[in-house]
Amino acid sequence: MVEFGGATGTLASLGDPERALETRKRFAHELGLRDPEITWHFARDGLCELVSLLANIGGSLGKIALDVMMMAASEFGEVAEPFVPGRGTSSTMPQKRNPISSELMFAAAKMLRERAALMLDAIMRDFERATGSWHLEWSAVPESFLLAASALHQANFMLRGLHVDSKRMPT
């Protein structure tokens, strides 16, 4: 999508509004980009939806992680994450295997929820041009992608090698 609208997105510097819109349309076409209906300066809901989607994915992964952590507890022992030498071992109980991937997924889910809340704060701004609130996006958007990618990576590793002890599960 082309961004061509001036400081506030009004195309005022191009003079006649009709000609200005046509200029932007031609500019977008020339670059092979979409001509937006409105400028990004005040259309922040798309980014908020994107981060909320990543938080929703994180919430689903967090639920899986919580279930695995609970079922992996010594009292239950129904599942165990894949064994990797030196990873997840307990400093006080050498026979115990801590659910590291699940813990990381669970933490990422909570941090993603906070980034979604931050984006909801960023949507509330003064007039058509924010005086600071859109700076929240500078951390919330890239961090959300990193957190979601990390949680998905951990989920892939953990679920591919999850050991299930069906004998310990109630029938």
Catalytic center residues = 90, 129
Residues 48 and 91 in one domain: yes
Give me the CATH number covering residue 109.
1.20.200.10
> pLDDT grade, residue 166 (50/70/90)?
very high
Residues 33 and 115 in one domain: no
Which range of residues forms the domain containing residue 109? Answer: 44-168
Residues 14 and 48 in one domain: no
The angle subtended at Cα 69 by Cα 68 and Cα 74, nearest 5°, is: 110
Over residues 55-109, the pLDDT tens digits come to 999 999 999 999 999 999 989 999 999 988 877 777 777 767 889 999 999 999 9
Residues 71 and 142 in one domain: yes
pTM of the model: 0.81
Q: What is the total count of domains within the chain?
A: 2
Write 3-10 long-range contacts (CB < 8 A, 24+): 3/36, 3/39, 3/40, 4/28, 5/39, 5/41, 7/129, 8/41, 8/128, 8/129, 9/38, 9/39, 9/40, 9/41, 9/42, 9/128
pLDDT (mean) for 124-139: 79
Over residues 30-57, the pLDDT tens digits come to 999 998 887 766 678 889 999 999 999 9
